[in-house]
Chains A and B, each alone.
Chain A
Amino acid sequence: MSSAGSLSNMQRLVEQLKLEAAVERIKVSQAAAELQQYCMQNACKDALLVGVPAGSNPFREPRSCTLL
């Protein structure tokens, strides 16, 4: 690769890294706490987590049989 080609590649890479470095970051512990909070707030609506009242999950309902 010519030195001009790799120079422009490097410049592009540096620009991309500058863009990514400028992203505002929060602490991991805060991020984790907020993920946890979202889980807790929505747990009661999560049928696969807490189950739903008998009969209200269409997949768990017994299927009707037709008698021939």
Chain B
Amino acid sequence: GLPECPAVMAWQEVSLFAVHQVAERVEALGQFVMKTRRTLKGHGNKVLCMDWCKDKRRIVSSSQDGKVIVWDSFTTNKEHAVTMPCTWVMACAYAPSGCAIACGGLDNKCSVYPLTFDKNENMAAKKKSVAMHTNYLSACSFTNSDMQILTASGDGTCALWDVESGQLLQSFHGHGADVLCLDLAPSETGNTFVSGGCDKKAMVWDMRSGQCIQSFETHDSDINSVRYYPSGDAFASGSDDATCRLYDLRADREVAIYSKESIIFGASSVDFSLSGRLLFAGYNDYTINVWDVLKGSRVSILFGHENRVSTLRVSPDGTAFCSGSWDHTLRIWA
């Protein structure tokens, strides 16, 4: 992003709230009826991360006690469970094929587990160690195939790995502190991803060259979550500074802030609805706020979790979203 200095502002349009101004004539949204439709119970401790399977139905979640569980969200049945050799499994991801999951945390690694329906097979037996960092794993994501994984770590770097060989394909250096989150650009928009960290920066990377293409530093505290707008032209962030923000990549600047004086706890995780009109954000005050992305206003506040919301993802077809919490449960909202 461009530095906010007088010389730059003199020739550039200065409107932090341009998105809201342009959206003035857009119809306001009506009342939302969004309720918990399923509660997934089974973790013995804080839920730290979750991800949807492309089948829009299965979910993988990971917890502080080392357990990783695969659920059928329609029936709430547990389909697979594995106990990691470490606690604080902060990251988990579903493979695009639906045939494997990846996870890691305080073990500083990202491991891949093939999912098998053979009751005689022990899931842990087929575990494959893929990524090795020098500090905790905070986030992981398969790229558009089961063959590559992107990781973010407390060691301040991100890295791209070949799953089969465990080889490091590319590393991404530039954050000045722990990297807490990452998100891959929608496949149509090319080979980039965005990361956020404890250095208050959000950085956009070229996956092939390892170069940082753009960086944004407007938050006042750690960035816990980053998520691309569905068109790929922007991304949202959630931070310990109690705000969520929208950054446009082609304007190369922050274009909206989602905040209220009454919201004083950090936002831990954010995701967009299918059209990008709504931004769902989970907070450390146990609530989920639903923001009108264009108008900048909050359209709904969802209660239900009994502790911090730590993770939140909208389902692949946008029919529901799932939240995970330190209260040991996951909830499906629709």
- Whether B23 pairs with A31 at a CB distance below 8 angstroms is no
**Are A25 and B320 within 8 A (Cβ)?**
no
Q: Determine the residue in chain A with the shortest Cβ distance to B246.
A: A35
B202 in the interface (beta carbon within 8 A): no
Contact (Cβ within 8 A) A36 B22 = yes
Counting chain A residues whose Cβ lies within 8 A of the other chain, the interface size class is 20 to 34
Establish whether residues B19 and A46, one from each chain, have CB atoms under 8 Å apart when the complex forms.
Answer: no
B161 at interface (Cβ–Cβ under 8 A)? no
State whether the Cβ of B321 lies closer than 8 Å to any Cβ in chain A.
Answer: yes
Q: Within 8 Å CB of A38, what residues of B?
A: 229-231, 233, 275-276
**Within A9-66, which residues are at the interface with B (CB < 8 Å)?**
16, 19-20, 23-36, 38-43, 45-49, 52, 57-60
In-complex Cβ contact of B13 among A24, A29, A39, A43 (8 A):
A29
Flag if A35 contacts B294 (CB, 8 Å). Answer: yes
Contact present for A31 and B248 (CB under 8 Å): yes
Chain A residue with minimal CB distance to B247?
A: A31
Complex alpha-carbon distance, A36 and B82, angstroms:
43
- From B23, B251, B293, B334, give the contact of A48 (CB < 8 A): B334
Report A-chain residues with C-beta under 8 Å of the C-beta of B26.
36, 40
Chain B: minimal CB distance from A60 (Å): 6
Q: 24 interchain pairs (CB within 8 A)?
A: A19-B211, A19-B212, A19-B213, A20-B212, A23-B213, A25-B2, A25-B250, A25-B251, A27-B13, A28-B13, A28-B15, A28-B18, A28-B248, A32-B21, A33-B22, A35-B255, A38-B231, A38-B233, A39-B277, A39-B294, A48-B274, A57-B319, A57-B334, A59-B332
